[in-house]
Amino acid sequence: MKLTLSSMTKTELAKTLGLKPFQGRQLFQWLHQKRVFDFDAMTNLSKPLRAQLTETASASQLELVEMQESKATGTKKALFRLHDGETVESVLIRDRKRTTICVSSQVGCALKCSFCATGLAGFTRNLTPGEIVEQVLYLLQDEADSDRTPNIVYMGMGEPMRNYDNVMASIRLLMDKDGVGIGARKIIVSTVGEAKEIERFTQEDWQVRLSVSLHAANNELRSTLVPLNRKFPLERLHDVLSGYSAQSGRQLTFEWTMLKGVNDSVECARELVAYAKGLKVSVNLIPWNPVSGLPYHPTHMADCNRFRDILEAGGLKVTVRMEKGQDIDAACGQLSRTHGKA
């Protein structure tokens, strides 16, 4: 089996392939900065080295199966096939100010949140650091004329904190100045509330941001939406988030998927205001993308606005995320369900 290179740092590339440090750096730049996966096109590497790489290594582990693009918004959704035939999805979202790439961290997910397409499929395996980074590299290939540095959000398929080491390794690769060179503040890791890993994350020596998919601020409702809440209830989550705010000084974000008649009432909004007390937090309200087979409906915009007004009156900073591509299968897990395993 050939060596796969995209999970390796510059130093690891040099060491594993028996190269000089500068050659490890050049190879890293081709893969991560220039996003070139054809060894023959890596013109500053010697011909014998290119031949050695072609013989023994594989520059890329992902194969693009399908790219959907929303005519209305320019949002793109990519479906990739992995070496073992499994598939994962990534999304690129553009708005006036920024480009955001949403990556997957696992094939499937074990946490079975009741409104999520990925949760329906169950868990298959963790992604390697390279499989995560390559999602970004592929989506950026098309963005060559854009001078925007993208934001990266770990909000695709899977619970990133359940693949902690590989996710953190992928972040280090994405931050490398000889690679994509993304600043830590432009990277957000999202969790539904893995309390122990949030404590680990709090100790990381960087400014990478944290987002918590909350969706409900009372235990009874949250446990029906996010079953992990039974293991780490809201009180425990509040404790670790207070620790995160105190130690890092960073603001965190609560994600709240708006489900009509489920978590969009005045009372739910008031519970959220009360729960946020003492935390340095802003709130993203997200319209739910319909998923066939799930018994939910998106909240009407007027009710989203009422919910937002209550949060703002309670002193919270709120963003209502606009819909980005209902004309493509925009909820993570939907493309995979359409295509299934190869």
Active-site residue among 89, 131, 194, 271?
89
Which residue's CB is nearer to ligand SF4, number 113 or number 214? 113
Cβ–Cβ under 8 Å, residues 93 and 102: yes
The candidate with the shortest Cα–Cα distance to 156, out of 342, 337, 333, is 333
* Least Cβ distance, residue 261 to ligand SF4 (angstroms): 20
Out of 25, 50, 112, 339, point to the residue binding ligand SF4 (CB under 6 A).
Answer: 112
* Least Cβ distance, residue 111 to ligand SF4 (angstroms): 4
Catalytic: 113? no
The region of 29-37, 72-80, 92-100, 151-159 touching ligand SF4 under the rule CB under 6 A is 151-159
- Determine how many CB atoms are found less than 10 A away from the CB of residue 285: 21
Which residue's CB is nearer to ligand SF4, number 169 or number 332? 332
Q: Torsion angle, CA of 339/299/91/331, rounded to 10 degrees?
A: -20
The region of 90-98, 114-122, 173-181, 307-315 touching ligand SF4 under the rule CB under 6 A is 114-122
* Least Cβ distance, residue 323 to ligand SF4 (angstroms): 18
The region of 23-31, 51-59, 109-117, 296-304 touching ligand SF4 under the rule CB under 6 A is 109-117
Question: First vs last Cα of the chain: how many Å apart?
Answer: 20
* Least Cβ distance, residue 124 to ligand SF4 (angstroms): 12
Phi, psi of 254 (to 5 degrees): -100, 130
The span from the CA of 226 to the CA of 259, in Å, is 13
Is 193 an interacting residue with respect to ligand SF4 (CB under 6 A)?
no
- Bridge pairing between strands 281-287 and 317-320: parallel
**Residue listed under structure tokens 């023959």:** 40
* Least Cβ distance, residue 297 to ligand SF4 (angstroms): 18
Active-site residue among 102, 109, 113, 332?
332
Is 192 an interacting residue with respect to ligand SF4 (CB under 6 A)?
yes
- CA 125, 130, 131, 136 dihedral sign is positive
Q: Is 198 helix (H, G, I), strand (E, B) or coil?
A: helix
The region of 89-97, 138-146, 152-160, 168-176 touching ligand SF4 under the rule CB under 6 A is 152-160
Is 214 an interacting residue with respect to ligand SF4 (CB under 6 A)?
no
Is 116 an interacting residue with respect to ligand SF4 (CB under 6 A)?
yes
Half-sphere exposure (CA, 13 Å, Cβ side) for 17? Answer: 32
Contacts of 292 (CB under 8 A, 6+ apart): none
- State which of positions 118-147 bind ligand SF4 (CB under 6 A): 118-119
Q: Is 340 helix (H, G, I), strand (E, B) or coil?
A: coil
The candidate with the shortest Cα–Cα distance to 335, out of 71, 73, 62, 117, is 117
Residue numbers at the binding site for ligand SF4 (CB under 6 A): 109, 111-113, 116, 118-119, 157-159, 192
Q: Kindly list the catalytic residues.
A: 89, 332
